[in-house]
Structure 1
């Protein structure tokens, strides 16, 4: 195929999912012959046998079988709780307790038949492939979308070359000017890999074979939701099929209609009879009489002050009430209910009880209950994760994507930057000493006392450059202490630029792995030639400015003598230095600049070649990780690269540098510089990540974050898909994000 094989090389570790994918059973519908026939007929009627030769159908099949179907079924299984919670019912049974009403062109078509598949509603001619799924928080919108997705994917697998349904999170739409089509393409490459040169996903959209299933429109916030709704309307005007999922209240608040979406499925609050049936299925029928007799619980059946459905009218919260209800501790509000659920899941008694029940479980995140983190640390860590996700408009948390701006306290930000600076001083100073010292000292001038001084001096110089990463940031950091002193002495307020952007926090990119590959011409142009030319021109300019300044001093003196000889006091006394330089520029230094530019042109070429070699090596030996299949995957790949370059560096040191402190031939000097730059560029992301993790650990976040997150999955607070983690429900995410640290 000639494509990136991220999907093809993936392995499915969940045995339940493997069995399900093999056709044993479906999660969202009974895998009967009748249901399969219904799904097949709808797929063929809606999409037909397209079979466009421009579409890479084999890649689409891999994406559906290796990524979409396992992810959907794992999320459905986790949501329905087939493993470790008391609710042991199928999705079809669960949805039968939730009234689903259908509206088409603003006309009410009544309640849908709960025994019918959701794909049957989507396949109606009067809906025409564009559907909204609306409901209150916890009503089961995402579960309904996942069930529809599973049915569509199952139909696409059984009927190849028809359609490719893919789930997307609208919370990742960050650029207000970006079209939905461009965003879909970007998300597909980012989440599922593929060769951009082949334009796989662009052709999917051109040929109209991609079926976007969009969740989380309400997670953008009101203003950005309005903008995204405009973009969705523009997209749907020319695209034939799309599904969007959103909270009903937030959708109404925007006050913008998606006119091209003809159908809307609205999940209604539970009725009294449905609640009773729901409790009966969970073997807690007696709880209904308790609700009727308890004033606090009965109040939760009524509409809230914001006209939201009562808490016990929503399936998610009814299930939570069953789990946590205690007559001695009445439930007063949604926050109270969620807090009781969290306390229950983190209580030592429940944890020990689950371990006794599941003795056959092969592996737990922590060996014993005593090794598990304290509930205070668990709660405060989840609060931090939730706040990070909310602030960055994300729904999924990846360990390797933790950034320094996730540190919300200035003290922690300064701790991170100073720690990074100190480590960079030691590492860059050592590398620079090993690389540069043999080039400038002969064996007669060399002294061992030079080494610590060289590490310190070179480390301070290169460490500061590496830590700030740009001239503007370096200048901002240099003037910061002087401005602080001035503001303190004269009782002035610190400028907002310094207050907000100092210390300098740059993003960490450990999304590359060590792989030998052949780059495309586009990669060579963007990643090798352009940056090499930019760096070479910048360094040449610096050298030219220095040379120009030195060479212009005699001309400046001559200029002063000429002025004195003319006795023109007005011109001599009142001309500023800048004016003199401008006059000199007009009267002859223009040719001096031309001369300097020609003189330094060969140096520019040398710089281009030198940095081109460095960039070329990094492009040849690195490949972007498109999808995270395991926690810490990016960090593990980064450590492999660090180990490899460290071996090369050590071998080179013992081969050339420490054996003879002599000036090497020119090609050895080039090798020295190349290895030095490569070492620093490979070490830097890992150093930054470890410094950040150290500061987080000091602030209370567990050091082994993957182990902690897996523990939270066991506690039914998080869900895990591959190397990505998300909260069990949006309501739980919101609750933690609004909480304060314990």
Structure 2
């Protein structure tokens, strides 16, 4: 035993001598120290890169869930169905949707033709639409084509509503799923993965459960927004949809698009039936206005409106679009406009008027219309840029920052804040244990390095335990601990070289530091492995309820405390075990080599307690990093004027003005035409803080 211990100490001594620099460099200690610092940074980068590389290989897109009983699956199915029903009810409850369906006998206010091959069938009533949809020759597969504002979304929602009304609640009919294709922005992502990720993001459905239901033909997708895709991706998207429906033998499929983007694609959809939405006829417009006037004698659709529209060819052309017809009706009296963008400008001016609606919060001033328009324009541009049709506050990402400089500022802010928080905890523990001030710098640097590394902002809302995922986390944690220990060892050797250059008499201290580093490396390896298992073993529920805007953020903050306590317990356990091993080891080697008292103190109970606290702080940081990142991102966006400080209140403010629509925690613009107009017409340059003039923004005719 004594020979083995002596051999270990000899190896430590040889390692120190092997990395010694030539004597000529001993006069350049600052340069050497700088080189050692550079080596430390390179090793930190190597650790982050290797950890991220292994994480991408060990962390699958599909996570395990607990086995579900038939009753649980039935309950989850009903929860998902209820979400779809609420979404359809909320969309069809919009004023323009209600106006377009309040005709006698619920007649559809559009010209719709169902084409099967060369045969065209006129559609008039909703029941006829559903009957045609369920014809064997169509197999519940439809392509809906229509110009912007022609009523594609209204048509789609009416179809889903009729489908749900005719399907018994306890039946095994496929579940209608409403998704927007605009988020399919990467050709390398398979359509199956995109579909399941969208299910998870929109309805909170667990990925594995979604995949299981997809394989058993329990979904009937209703897809819109194909024309919002990047034109370079549209052809690939159609091919992916064809492969998707063939692979999983979907029980049905509905796709909406404008005609031009679809017709440009070389490969058509494998769908037999096509519904073409034509402009309204003059007779339909007149009948619609009369129906509205009869239902609302004091409302907006008085007989003179038809006379005004009928005498103006430009207004008549605009009125043939169901959506633009609604915009015309809210202008009382209808103004003479020549283009759709002029109509939208007047529509915004009307709905942003401060006297038309009550205040969201009586204790807070409402934003000026120009300020509201600027914030809406920023939101519309970013939704369009990132291929999203719906907005959730907690899903804003650093890519939403307008410049590279602001993204760098964001990363620096996150890193400094994390380092400050963890460093403060270390200072407090040092003050209690009276152990010096070097540890806060060490722990703060680790926290800053973890935080500054790019992360996708996502929140841990609900928790359940998965043994398989815990095993993956254990492997990943052991790997990260091994790499970190290697980097720590090289760093300690490099520091030892610098100390030896300064004064060789500290060689014994260097050896003691290396011995301590060896023990600390074992602690790091096993603690990161156990922490990885505990942190990644927790998964979300099969379906996460989405009710309030900031619910995910608050749930994530609560779960931070759980993980911090877990890390605290793991730290105490591991450091306690290995401190006992270290003390036993010191007792063995004390007969061969003298161990400095300073090294023994490092494994005493107060230090063990402090290490457990700091490991708990790092564990809490890992899972709360999204909360911190989200806060820093919101602060930067608020500071540069892109968003208001209270985003929740602002979204409720504009939803009451019927410009955006709440869907649970999500928001979407009432129609894509309005969203695209805001994104295109009001740039950040024209709405800078120095030009917040209500007259210049709301009174001008934007082109």
Structure-2 residue corresponding to 1:274: 284
1:512 partner SS? coil
Contiguous gaps of at least 5 residues in structure 1 = 9-51, 302-309, 356-363, 470-504, 554-596, 654-659
Shift of 1:144: 1.1
Shift of 1:613: 3.2
CA distance in 1, matches of 2:187, 2:656: 37
Matched, 1:730 2:672: yes
Q: Contact (CA 8 Å) 1:102, 1:111: kept in 2 or not? A: yes
Q: Contact (CA 8 Å) 2:112, 2:277: kept in 1 or not? A: yes
Deviations 1:421-462 (A, max 9, x none): 4423421221233456777x65xxx5xxx5xx875x457634
Deviations 1:258-305 (A, max 9, x none): 2x20001111101111111122223223222212333xxx1354xxxx
Equivalent positions of 1:166-245 (< 5 A) are 166-194=177-205, 199-238=208-247, 239=249, 240-245=251-256
Equivalent positions of 1:51-62 (< 5 A) are 56-62=73-79
TM-score, structure 2 as length reference? 0.72
CA distance in 2, matches of 1:468, 1:117: 58
2:636 partner SS? helix
Shift of 1:346: 0.7
Structure with larger RCO (C-alpha < 8 A, sep 6+): 2
1:157 partner SS? coil
Shift of 1:644: 6.5
Equivalent positions of 1:1-150 (< 5 A) are 56-64=73-81, 66-78=82-94, 80=96, 87=99, 89-90=101-102, 96-105=108-117, 107-114=118-125, 116-150=127-161
Structure-2 residue corresponding to 1:708: 650
CA distance in 2, matches of 1:234, 1:249: 23
Q: Contact (CA 8 Å) 2:148, 2:673: kept in 1 or not? A: yes
Query: 1:544/1:674 Cα in 2 relative to 1: closer, same or farther (>3 Å)?
Result: closer
Aligned CA RMSD, in angstroms, stands at 3.9
Matched, 1:391 2:364: no
Query: 1:144/1:601 Cα in 2 relative to 1: closer, same or farther (>3 Å)?
Result: farther
Deviations 1:135-161 (A, max 9, x none): 111111111111111222233334612
Aligned with 1:513 (options 456, 461, 469): 461
CA distance in 2, matches of 1:604, 1:173: 44
Aligned with 2:318 (options 311, 316, 333): 311
TM-score, structure 1 as length reference? 0.68
Deviations 1:388-421 (A, max 9, x none): 1111100110011111221113454354344434
Matched, 1:299 2:314: yes
Query: 1:463/1:512 Cα in 2 relative to 1: closer, same or farther (>3 Å)?
Result: closer
Matched, 1:406 2:400: yes
Structure-2 residue corresponding to 1:489: none
Structure-2 residue corresponding to 1:290: 308
Matched, 1:345 2:361: no
Contiguous gaps of at least 5 residues in structure 2 = 1-63, 294-300, 499-513, 572-600, 688-703
Shift of 1:95: 5.1
Matched, 1:365 2:381: no
CA distance in 1, matches of 2:430, 2:97: 61
Shift of 1:642: 5.0
Matched, 1:461 2:435: no
Structure-1 residue corresponding to 2:683: 740
CA distance in 1, matches of 2:125, 2:236: 34
Aligned with 1:693 (options 634, 648, 654): 634
CA distance in 1, matches of 2:205, 2:404: 40
Equivalent positions of 1:294-693 (< 5 A) are 294=312, 298-301=313-316, 310-324=317-331, 326=333, 329-351=335-357, 355=358, 365-367=360-362, 371-410=365-404, 412-435=406-429, 450=437, 457-458=441-442, 461-462=445-446, 464-469=448-453, 506-509=455-458, 511-513=459-461, 515=463, 517=464, 519-526=465-472, 528-546=473-491, 605-619=522-536, 623=540, 626-641=544-559, 663-664=604-605, 667-668=608-609, 670-693=611-634
Query: 1:145/1:339 Cα in 2 relative to 1: closer, same or farther (>3 Å)?
Result: same
Shift of 1:622: 6.6
1:350 partner SS? coil
Query: 1:645/1:609 Cα in 2 relative to 1: closer, same or farther (>3 Å)?
Result: closer
CA distance in 2, matches of 1:123, 1:649: 56
CA distance in 1, matches of 2:184, 2:410: 29
Deviations 1:232-251 (A, max 9, x none): 12233452421111122221
Shift of 1:706: 0.8
CA distance in 2, matches of 1:616, 1:276: 68
Shift of 1:669: 5.2
1:267 partner SS? strand
Deviations 1:359-387 (A, max 9, x none): xxxxx62227x722111221111111111
1:266 partner SS? strand
Query: 1:436/1:393 Cα in 2 relative to 1: closer, same or farther (>3 Å)?
Result: farther
Q: Contact (CA 8 Å) 1:718, 1:728: kept in 2 or not? A: yes
1:245 partner SS? strand
Larger CA deviation: 662-671 vs 425-434: 662-671
CA distance in 1, matches of 2:415, 2:244: 47
